[in-house]
Each structure stands twice: as structure tokens, then as C-alpha cells.
Chains A and B, each alone.
Chain A
């Protein structure tokens, strides 16, 4: 891991999303289908919102909202973003300060990627695999 490399090297450059009018149920199906913990909300080509699995627990399940609620009602509208050229170290610092595990990455005012803490965990997964793989 190179802490000085720009976040574009580590981010996922492809985003999976739903539309503002889609239901929370539909969003959950997409999350399960793609095994991802967050989704962007897209209006046309523009990202207008973002939410994570834990947002669904906090904003839908606990208050007892219907899973037919449109995602625009529960999404985060004020997006926390970093520029695509920000060094990894600064991105991690910002995530720690904001207490978040996912951050959106922008380039020229457009959201072009997402970085998640779990992107950094591949080495430990590999080590744990080796530890239990031996016969």
C-alpha cells in the first residue's frame, strides 16, 4: 500500500446505483445481488445521493418505514467526496475524521468512483486463507 498514491489508484471506478424513485426494497435487492454495502442514487447521469446498508438499518428498519419507501427519502444528499488526485493518506484521514467507511471520489465535479475501507483488506484475507488452507 502506497500512502502517497492518488486515490484513483485504489478506488473502484465503476458505480452501481438506483434511481431516486426506486424503492428501498429494490435497492436492497441490488445490494444483495451485487454483494455491495452501498449504492449511489443516480438521476440521469448525475449522482444525487448515496446510502449504505447501515443507513437502511438506521433510517428505515428502526423507525419502521415501509420497504416501499423511495430511496430519495432516505438517501444522504450532502455527499462527502474527495478529489480523484487526493493521496490515499489524506483520504484515510478524512474518512477517520468523518467516521465513515465509504467515500465517493470526484473528478471535475462528477462522481467517478468510490473507495471503501474493505478495498484495503485483501492482504489480510489472503494471509488468513493460507493459515487455514494447510491439510
Chain B
């Protein structure tokens, strides 16, 4: 039974100028007023430039909505010191609205005069305290302007929330059911673990992407915990995504383990003090003697710099790994002579099939920059490979993380992360392994577990657990990922997910 229905609008860009489409606004608001909604959330960019005249008009336009309303600021609203006007004309920048069995917590993620976002230190602590306070509520919704996960069809991944990884981690730890946001003018719904990430498109701005039309989202909370999000375009076209959290998550191992992968990253072999040779040697010994994996995957930054001496040392150390090894280059590997050296020392990574498993390496590193890219042709190639091998369990390997990593400043390290993530989730990649950011993190996006490895032997990491690598075990019906402390061998569970059935070859 539907317990609550919320209309989610965003990016109205109200102004006297042509950016604002008043007829689209009226069309959507009339529909919202006519239909059965308990609440309306506006996730920011109410105005176009944060100007007084725009706020005055916005006050008038928002009054047309005759349902309870939560409004939060977007980057456009805080331009020209608009954050002061927001509080004066609209309301508090942060707050909580309670409802039966739930609460909506909204957080100002804007930075004056910048398009990027940040949930700054004080707000982050406030959000944490507030989530603790509302811990017992059945439905916890957090709303902010900026997106948490890269979005498809937005061109270059930018204007990101600087601490997206920390915010994502916090929301997942607190069992938040839904994150509502806007910003990129692209409607989209993802599921990260058990949290629905609901991006509204733009309600009434001229700037839509790829010829799309204006839209809003309809969120329905059901008594049994299910959440539906419907993207409703002004053309009447609708897309519905539904999610019911799986609880409890209990795994009773049955049958043999089919494959064990050791997943590591950032060895950063060098003669610098930050390289911990002993830790790497210990870890390799542990991998050979205790874990005995079928495959070892190294997701980039084998060396700290692309020079001959480092590559020689790296090859010498990595040769000690007894299992078959697949190495994809990271941005450090291809600095200086690295492009040539990587191929000379580790070979160009290619597709590897093993039993019912296919390893698909993706080159994302670019010369002399930490920013990676797969490229439109690379994405197309990846899509074709995932289709071609859909009857096997596909493991995609790349250096750059796609999902933001806690404790790392997110700047959109993968330039086209949004489109890459869509390719991976739409094609149902079995597993995605990455290795940038110096911290481990695992989250399933839709049906695809995406796992990042921390650094195995580089002191400059961001992992409270220390240097580590991951052990990923694949069973007939489950994927289980552990993180292993590189020195002590103690483990902790990173994630455990039911495997989706493979697509049979036609």
C-alpha cells in the first residue's frame, strides 16, 4: 500500500530571462496540484542567478504549489550572495521535515559562486547527528542539490560534490532509503546497495541535455519498505524504477567456490620513502601461501613513476606472484616513458577468458594527468564486449574509480564516469574492479558490484585499515569481497551480493 507520495521537482531556474520556461513550470505545477501528493521537494536552482528580482518572482511562482513544500538551495541560488536572499525569501538552507514513520533531511551542498558542491565540515557533522537522531524512522530521505554518483549524458563529469565519497559512505551506514538531488538537468535513478539515488531532471529550464524535455520525478514510499521512483516527462512519457531492500542479508555458502580473485592497486614501486617494499613482499607471500587465488588483478599504479629502474623493480617483485596476473595501467604508470615501459614490462592487457569468467581490461589512464577517460569509442567497445560475453561472468578492470571513494576529494577523476557507469550497469557487468584514491570501497550499483582497492604498499593512502588488498570469492549464487590488511592478514567483509543470472547466448 502506498504510504506517501512525493513530487520531486528541481532546477526551475526562475527568471525574467529566456532560461525559464514558465509554461513548463505551470504545466507541471498544475499536474502536481491535481494529483494526490503528500509533499513536494524542490532540490535547488529555484532561481537562475540568485538575484532579488528572481527571488521575488520565485516566491510568487512557488505559492502556486498548494501542497506542503520543502525547498533547498542550488548553486545558481547562491550566486551573487543569493544564499542570504534564499533564507529571506524561501526558508532555511538546511533542515528536517518529519512525517509519519519518516523524515526528510535537506542539506545545502552549495559553495558561493562555484558550480561544484560540498557538504562542509559543520554541515557534515550536523547531517551525521541528525541521522543519528532519526535513526529509528522507517524512511530516511536526504535531499541536496548535487549528485552523488556520476550521471550519464552530462558530457564531462564535473561540478561534483567534493566529499561525495564521505557523504555516500555516511548515508549508506545510516540506512538512508533515498537520496534526492538535481543539478545536472538529467533525470536518472540508480540503486546503490539499498539506497535509491533519485536525480530529478529540470522542471522548467531551457537547458536540457541531448534534446530532452522538462520533467519531474514521483517518489512513492510503500508500507512494506518498497520505494518507486517514476520519471515523468512533460510529454507524458514515464519510466518507473522500483526497489525493495533485502533484509536480512544472510549467506549460507553452498557448493564449491568457482573463482578467487586477489584485487590490488597502487603498489607504487619506487625508491621513495613512501614505498613499503616489506609490506608488498609480505602481502605477496600471504597471497601465494594462504589465499592461493586463481587470478591476481592489479588495477594500476604498479610504479610511482614511469621510469626504467622502477619498472625493473616492480617486475622483479610482482614476478613472485604465483597465480596468473592481469595488470591494467594507472596514471602513475604512464608518466614519462611509462607508455612504452608498461607494455615492455607487463604487456598490453587483453581480454582473458577463464572457465565461465571473462576479464575485460579498460584503459582509462591518460598521459601526465590523474584524470582518466574511457572515451566514446572506448565505451562503445566496452558495451560490445559486455554484450558479446553476456553468457559469462564479466569482470571489468580499470584504474579510475567510478563510484566516489570515502576520504578522497572527489573531482571527477574519470572524465566520462557517468556514461561508463551507465554502460556497466545497463549491460549488467558481473563485477567492476578499480584502484584509484588510496582507499577501499565496495557498493553495488543496480545489479553490478563496483569494488575499489586501497593501496597495497604506498604510505600515502587514505585507508584507516592501513595498506590492504581485496580477496573476491565468486560462488554460483554469490559474490563475497573481503579486504585483507597487507601486513597482518586480518580481514573484514567489504560486501556480499547475490549474483544475477547470466544472459544465455541466443
Contact = CB atoms under 8 A, between A and B. Distances in A.
Contact of B175 (A8, A16, A34, A133): A8
B251 A4 contact: no
B315 interface: no
Given A14-B493, A126-B465, A129-B279, A6 B488 contact: no
Interface size class of A (residues with CB under 8 A): 35 or more
B491 interface: yes
B492 A122 contact: yes
A125 B248 contact: no
A12 B277 CA distance: 32
A118 B490 contact: yes
Interface string B467-499: 100000100000010100111101111011000
A129 B250 contact: no
B251 A14 contact: yes
Given A125-B466, A129-B488, A40 B250 contact: yes
A103 interface: no
Contacts, number: 104
A18 interface: yes
B247 A129 contact: no
Contacts of A113: 248
A14 B467 contact: no
A129 B487 contact: yes
Nearest to A126: B466
A5 to B, nearest CB: 6
A45 interface: yes
B490 A33 contact: no
Contacts of B279: 129, 133
Given A122-B464, A126-B466, A129-B488, A47 B132 contact: no
Interface size class of B (residues with CB under 8 A): 35 or more
Interface of B: 128, 132, 135-136, 173-175, 247-253, 257, 273, 276-279, 459, 463-467, 473, 480, 482, 485-488, 490-493, 495-496
B66 to A, nearest CB: 36
Q: Which of A30, A40, A113, A129 has the largest number of chain B CB atoms within 10 A?
A: A129
A25 to B, nearest CB: 14
A14 B467 CA distance: 23
Contact of A18 (B252, B278, B465, B485): B252
A112 interface: yes
A103 to B, nearest CB: 15
Given A5-B132, A8-B174, A30 B253 contact: yes
B466 A19 contact: no
Contacts of A122: 464-466, 485, 492
A107 B247 contact: yes
